[in-house]
Structure 1
Amino acid sequence: MDAATAGLLAAAVGVGGTLGSAWLVQRRADAIRREEWRYLERTRVADLSAQRRSGVVEARRAAYIAFNAAARHYLASLSDHVHALRLGTEAPQPTFDVIDAARAEYRQWYAEAQMIVPDEVLTQVRAVNTGIGSVYGVLVRLTHGTAREGEDITAAQSRIKESWRALSLMRAAMRADLGVTAPSHG
């Protein structure tokens, strides 16, 4: 091989090496950019998911607070009516007006709770609803003189106590769902 051919061959290999290394560097840079975009997209999706979860938890928390307050008010109204019946109040209608207002608010929050609470909590919410509905039915019948056998003021008071216990169990389930520990009493 003569010197000119060897020089030309060395130049071709040098240019090829330079172009090849530029191409390899460009491919690696593209691969790094693609990986960065995938990472950014995963991060964005994870952030959106966390925001959605946070929004869901906050919506549940608000619904839990509203439902608990409405249930407590409704149950207290029923309890007040039992006391009015026990005292023999001549006009139980004013307490029934309060009960009906509390019941309407309660039913609104119960309907919302049915839509957003998880099944574990919904089981407790339904237990509260069943208990309060039972008390309401007994009190309506007692007020209108159409009580069934075994339905009296003592039975109504017993059902109210059961409903308060169910309400406590429901609140515990709600706190557990939110990841909140029970308040300490000590």
Structure 2
Amino acid sequence: MQSDQFERQQQAAEAQWHREQRVAELNRRRDGYMQVNASFRRYRTHLMNFLWTVHKGAVTPDAREVVEDARRDHHSVFAEAQMIASAAVLIELDGMTTALSEVYRRIMCLEEGNPDQDGSFNEIRTDFVRLWERWERMRAVMRADIGLGSDAGAPSAIEP
């Protein structure tokens, strides 16, 4: 009888440990997703501002450094997110990073006076609309991954 009680206590303790691990993992992903989301937004905003600076012909070393700082921050936060993201979120992160890198490249080519054939200011500006749409998809996948999908009655990611 005492061994049965001990076994039940062990099982309860193990179940509690597993719940705590799921909650801790969910918190790590949530925090990482918040950081990468903020980093993507910051980088996108600085790229957009830099595009306008290029368009006005007012590029300075300081303006370029702001973009490069945002880019470095994005790469650092993205690297951290790669270690905690689910497979579905990682696909979105990779796609968003690729899209941002392409917009960065197109803006730099325009700034250097060697734009892509479809790399005018207005054409690059439309890239930001696509980035926003992609960001909304990425954010939705992140939210779903941590149990915050669009359905109010959706089960929590920390339920057993």
Mark yes or no: TM-score above 0.5.
yes
Superposition deviation, residue 92 in structure 1: 4.0
**What one-letter code is carried by the residue in structure 2 that aligns with 1:49?**
H
Superposition deviation, residue 93 in structure 1: 3.0
Secondary structure in structure 2 of the residue aligned to 1:116: coil
2:73 maps to which of 87, 105, 124: 105
Instruction: Give, in whole Å, the separation in 2 of the partners of 1:157 and 1:92.
Output: 20
Normalised by the length of structure 1, the TM-score is 0.77
Provide the residue aligned with 1:161 in structure 2: 129
Superposition deviation, residue 42 in structure 1: 0.9
Instruction: Report how many aligned residue pairs link the two structures.
Output: 152
Superposition deviation, residue 148 in structure 1: 2.5
**What one-letter code is carried by the residue in structure 2 that aligns with 1:168?**
E
Secondary structure in structure 1 of the residue aligned to 2:10: helix
1:113-167, Cα deviation, whole Å (9 max, x unpaired): 1111111111111111111111111111111122222212122112121111111
Secondary structure in structure 1 of the residue aligned to 2:83: helix
Contact 1:121-1:177 within 8 A present in 2 as well: yes
1:53-132 matches, within 5 Å, as: 53-89=22-58, 91-132=59-100
Provide the residue aligned with 1:40 in structure 2: 9
**Structure (1 or 2) with the greater helix fraction:** 1
Instruction: Give, in whole Å, the separation in 1 of the partners of 2:18 and 2:44.
Output: 38
Contact 1:67-1:109 within 8 A present in 2 as well: yes
1:75-103, Cα deviation, whole Å (9 max, x unpaired): 000000111122232x3432211110111
**What one-letter code is carried by the residue in structure 2 that aligns with 1:174?**
M
Contact 1:132-1:163 within 8 A present in 2 as well: yes
**What one-letter code is carried by the residue in structure 2 that aligns with 1:71?**
F
Q: 1:183 and 1:100, CA in 2 relative to 1: closer, same or farther beyond 3 A?
A: farther
Provide the residue aligned with 1:135 in structure 2: 103
Provide the residue aligned with 2:157 in structure 1: none
Instruction: Give, in whole Å, the separation in 2 of the partners of 1:171 and 1:92.
Output: 33
RCO greater where, 1 or 2, for CA within 8 Å and sep 6 or more? 2
Instruction: Give, in whole Å, the separation in 2 of the partners of 1:135 and 1:170.
Output: 17
Considering only CA atoms, is the larger Rg found in Structure 1 or Structure 2? Answer: 1
Normalised by the length of structure 2, the TM-score is 0.89
Structure 1 segments unaligned to the other structure (5+ residues): 1-31
Contact 1:134-1:159 within 8 A present in 2 as well: no
